[in-house]
Structure 1
Amino acid sequence: MAINTTPSQVATSALQAIPFGSIIGGPLKACIEAQAMAAQTSWQFIQEVGLNINPTTGEKEVVNVSFSFLQNGRMAQLNVPLLTIVPIPYIAIQNIDINFKANISASSSSVSETSSSQNVDVGGEASASLGWGPFSMQASMKASYSSKKDSRATKNSQYSVEYTMDVAVKAGQDSMPVGFAKVLELLGSSLDVSDPDGSLEISARELTLPDTGKATLIATYKNSKGLFEPEAITMNGTKGKVDGNSVLFEISVAGDYSVAAGKKTAVCVVKGKESAAVAPAKEEQSK
């Protein structure tokens, strides 16, 4: 009897029909998409939390957080970029474990049975007597024949395919990219302690008019956020010439000049040549 190879062929076909590309590639694709979503979430967090859009210029600016504290007997203000003090979500997938198990079973059974019998009622009976003289013989014969024929065939086949898959994904807070780490380093170095009312500085509290008849006073102002704001500086209600972060004022008449910016004011006394020469003489007379 020949060996039935149908079960092995079915098992091989079932193994080839398993979608390995979907089984293995599906979890990998899902992890890649999850990683892309995590990166997009980090960028949205930086955009929405750490940056503001200047309504005037339309440019993005870093959000600063201001803290007021006591320093050397006076109130001071600390300006800190928000991105340097809050944890930025930067989740990265570190490991992906895919365990796949396939169980294929195939079986086939075949039963064939043949039996035959035949009933044929064919029979006969005969009798005869023979005799010669004093001898005589009686004989009788009887014959029968029967046959029967039946057939039965049974075939049973069973096939099953089963597979399981375990996927384990490990993710955690990853280190910042080199470029963004450098940005945070620069932001960290920009920490500044400022006066809540701003700070105003002038180049001199007293000036003497030179022979040319004009003296220059330089003023610099930082607002409460620690930003230079030369446009806010005025002297006796008039604006000067902006030069970078400072303002230049040309003075040609002696007198007291008040420089103001924000809540701060500073006074500069400008003297003429005559007043500068008379001052020592008065000091000698007093001696």
Structure 2
Amino acid sequence: MPNLVPELNSLDFNVYVGGPLQAAIQAQTAASMATVNFIKEVGFESDGNDATVDPLRYVDFQYKKSVPNPDYDPNTAVGPSNQKFIENEVEIKVPFLTTLTIPSIRIDEVNIDFNARLSSTETRDISTEFAASAELGINYKIVNFKASASYKRNTSQGVKVDKTYNLGVKVRAVNDELPEGLSRILDMLEDSIATVA
């Protein structure tokens, strides 16, 4: 019976287990860099000069808003010049980043299932051949007799090891909450929303 321990010891677990983990780390790094690139490309207006700070990109909104008329006098007759509310053009400048969902993918879980199945089969083949022949010849006072026999036996044996490897990797990624620092920056950007009447 063969010893299967050397067969198991010959498996490179750095490849079977470490490979998927390394791929998950690289994927997490790529996801973080994608977030950084998204913020740089979408949130700022680049002028192509690395020596200067790129200005923040804003979205401008304009709408009409009814506001109390400061010149309204209830004792005066109501007319076009003496209305309780007047319409104002309002313009809002909103940082573009605050209107978007910033991608923040995080690998939450990595499951690696590795199964190695080694089965050995011992084979033994035995074959036997026997052959015999005889001749009898009578020739005037001479008797000839010939006999021959042969026997052959072949034996072969061996060990066959069947190897089966199964590798299953399950990765669960979630859209993570924004990091605390980025969340605070977005809160400050929301506070910088300016309304111009």
Shorter-chain TM band: 0.7 to 0.9
Q: Hey, what's the Cα distance between the residues in 2 that align with 1:39 and 1:117? A: 81
- Structure 2 equivalent of residue 133 of structure 1: none
Task: Tell me which amino acid in the other structure corresponds to 1:160.
Answer: D
Query: What TM-score do you get using the length of structure 1 for normalisation?
Result: 0.51
Q: Quote how far apart the aligned CAs of 1:53 are.
A: 3.8
Flag the 1:101–1:55 CA change in 2: closer, same or farther, 3 A: closer
Equivalent of residue 101 in structure 2, options 62, 72, 87: 87
* Aligned partners of 1:14 and 1:161 also within 8 Å: no
State the secondary structure of the residue aligned to 1:62: coil
How far residue 115 of structure 1 moved from its aligned partner, in angstroms, is 9.6
Superposition RMSD in Å: 2.8
Aligned-partner residue type, residue 167 of structure 2: M
**Cα distance, 1:116 vs structure 2:** 9.5
Moved over 4 A (4+): 54-57, 111-119, 146-150
Hey, what does 2:163 align to over in structure 1?
Answer: 161
SS in 2 for 1:99: strand
Distance 1:55 1:147 in 2: 99
* Structure number, greater radius of gyration: 1
The equivalent position to 2:113 in structure 1, one of 95, 99, 110, is: 99
> Could you tell me which amino acid in structure 2 is paired with residue 185 of structure 1?
D
Match for 1:67 among 53, 61, 71? 61
SS in 2 for 1:92: strand
Aligned partner of 2:22 among 7, 29, 36: 29
The AA in structure 2 aligned to 1:92 is R
Over 3 Å counting, the alpha-carbon distance change for 1:157 and 1:79 in structure 2 is: same
Q: Distance in 1 between matches of 2:179 and 2:127?
A: 78
- 1:154 CA drift (Å): 2.5
Q: Distance in 2 between matches of 1:87 and 1:149?
A: 87
The answer to which structure, 1 or 2, has the higher relative contact order (CA under 8 A, 6+ apart) is 2
In the alignment, structure 1 segments of 5+ residues that lack a partner are 120-145, 196-287
Q: Which residue of 2 aligns with 1:186?
A: 188
1:105-156 deviation per Cα after TM superposition (whole angstroms, max 9, x unaligned) = 112133567899999xxxxxxxxxxxxxxxxxxxxxxxxxx99754332224
- TM-score w.r.t. structure 2 length? 0.72
Could you tell which deviates more after superposition, 104-113 or 163-172?
104-113
1:31-58 Cα deviation digits (max 9, x unpaired):
1111111111111111111012468982
